[in-house]
Amino acid sequence: MEELSERINSLPVSATLAMAAKARELKNNGIDVIGLSLGEPDFNTPEYIKDSAIKAVNDNYNSYSPVDGYADLKDAICTKFKRDNNLNYKPSQIVVSTGAKQSIANLCMVLLNPGDEVLLPAPYWVSYSAIATLAEAKSVIIPSSIETDFKITPKQLEAAITPKTKLIMFNSPNNPSGTIYTEAEYRALGKILEKYPDIFILSDEIYEHINYGTPHFSIAAIPELYDRTITVNGVAKAFAMTGWRIGYIGAAEWISKACNKMQGQITSGANCIAQRATITALLEPVSKIQYMVDEFSHRKNLIIELLSQIKGFKMNRPDGAFYVFPDVSFYFGKTIGGTTINNASDFALFLLEKAHVATVTGEAFGNEDCIRISYAASEANIKEAVERISRALS
Ligand code: GLU
């Protein structure tokens, strides 16, 4: 008898991973699908990072690490936070996890009670609401659109706050819109949050280094918010280390202690070899990965130029991450080649089936008008994908 828990039954599957799996399946069946669904750099991990992992294997790093990470890795993370973000964290405030996703899950599990409200400025990363649901909290979505460059305003923020609000999750540079909150914008939102001392702030900065011009600002750098901001980061995106699975947080000590306790019961310490490699990734100059950022920047300009030639694609010009998030609502209600498109999910499915291009519906990110297209793909694939989309729609 198959009787799963209500917990898992109420959990949606990850739309990003589901779309990637679907594309993989079609490919295995001999269909030439171009995968623009997953946010994953198509570069290899840089040699100097790989070398440190190889050294770690040869140095016999094979035992359990401390649950919250090796001491010298936590030192390196403190150095990084100071160097890049002007944030002072002590090693006791750091917890290293199996990816930023686990860092976020730890945090939600230790902070949220059933019925607590979590504010999600939309578009938000697909797993935020699912993780909040797992923690039995309620997601409260604050919408935004292309007109505001997918950013929420202080007025919207204040209107969404209730006595039950416990946490707000920011993600800048943003997945899926690529938008970046400026220091001034964060300070204006911070002014509202200062009035509500019981609200915690999760600042997901995983795309920090994939930035094409707007200076990165960490909301924890606002002294009034430092104590209740949890800064999340990791090495996946900037260092092309998605599969290595290393994320981390900087937080008030009582929060990091609780996350450490949670992790101690669920996974223990993160992979020891990946932790050693992360020390190198974080301590070497950031300029060493600029070649990837430059390439992403070039591809961003290319994909925007190509997509904007397709009728009905409305886009912002993102300054970070490696996604575009076009509004495709122009096509809703239309029938193309016998297929009626009523919403963003239909549109993404249409692109997969008729153009063999995998994207992700905006509905998974709390926006029903858009689809997410990752341009972490080769120039040739980007060109071919847009060509196919254009052909399928005409
Ligand atoms: N964060 C990436 C994305 O949004 C990886 C997939 C995932 O973990 O959801 O595509």
224 C-alpha to ligand 1 centroid (Å):
31
Q: Kindly report, residue by residue over 276-314, the tens digit of the pLDDT.
A: 999 999 999 999 999 999 999 999 999 999 999 999 999
Which of 285, 315, 334 finishes a domain? Answer: 285
CA atoms within 13 Å, Cβ hemisphere of 149: 14
Nearest atom in ligand 1 to 175's CA: 4
CB-based contacts of 204: which residues, under 8 Å, 6+ apart? 100, 104, 125, 169, 170, 171, 232, 233
Residue 143 resides in a domain: yes
Residue nearest to atom 9 of ligand 1 (CA): 16
Residue 147 resides in a domain: yes
Which of 256, 285, 314 finishes a domain? Answer: 285
| Domain boundaries, position 16 | 6-44+289-393
On whether both 216 and 230 belong to a single domain, the answer is: yes
Strand pairing partners for 323? 374
Q: Is 14 in the pocket of ligand 1 (CB under 6 A)?
A: yes
Residue 387 resides in a domain: yes
| Tokens (6 digits) for 169 | 């999750």
On whether both 156 and 260 belong to a single domain, the answer is: yes
Residue 241 resides in a domain: yes
Q: Kindly report, residue by residue over 231-287, the tens digit of the pLDDT.
A: 999 999 999 999 999 999 999 999 999 999 999 999 999 999 999 999 999 999 999
On whether both 183 and 320 belong to a single domain, the answer is: no
On whether both 298 and 350 belong to a single domain, the answer is: yes
Q: Is 188 in the pocket of ligand 1 (CB under 6 A)?
A: no
On whether both 63 and 209 belong to a single domain, the answer is: yes
On whether both 294 and 273 belong to a single domain, the answer is: no
Tens place of pLDDT for every residue, the chain, 394 residues?
789 999 999 898 888 888 888 888 898 999 999 999 988 899 999 999 999 999 999 999 999 999 999 999 999 999 999 999 999 999 999 999 999 999 999 999 999 999 999 999 999 999 999 999 999 999 999 999 999 999 999 999 999 999 999 999 999 999 999 999 999 999 999 999 999 999 999 999 999 999 999 999 999 999 999 999 999 999 999 999 999 999 999 999 999 999 999 999 999 999 999 999 999 999 999 999 999 999 999 999 999 999 999 999 999 999 999 999 999 999 999 999 899 999 999 999 999 999 999 999 999 999 999 999 999 999 999 999 999 999 999 8
337 C-alpha to ligand 1 centroid (Å):
31
On whether both 115 and 196 belong to a single domain, the answer is: yes
Q: How many residues does the chain have?
A: 394
Tokens 């858009």 belong to 370
**Cα separation of 320 and 300, whole Å?**
9
242 C-alpha to ligand 1 centroid (Å):
9
CATH code (residue 17)? 3.90.1150.10
Residue 1 resides in a domain: no
Give yes or no for a contact between 281 and 235, defined as CB atoms under 8 angstroms apart. yes
| Test site for ligand 1: of 36, 38, 98, 207, most ligand atoms within 8 A of the Cβ | 38
On whether both 131 and 267 belong to a single domain, the answer is: yes
Give yes or no for a contact between 348 and 360, defined as CB atoms under 8 angstroms apart. yes
On whether both 235 and 277 belong to a single domain, the answer is: yes
How close are the terminal C-alpha atoms of the chain, in Å?
49
CATH code (residue 217)? 3.40.640.10
Which of 285, 317, 337 finishes a domain? Answer: 285
Q: Are strands 371-374 and 360-361 parallel, antiparallel or unpaired?
A: antiparallel
On whether both 278 and 304 belong to a single domain, the answer is: no
- Report the number of distinct structural domains present in the chain: 2
On whether both 33 and 121 belong to a single domain, the answer is: no
On whether both 78 and 197 belong to a single domain, the answer is: yes
CB-based contacts of 63: which residues, under 8 Å, 6+ apart? 272
Which among 132, 141, 123 has a CA at the least distance from the CA of 361?
Answer: 123
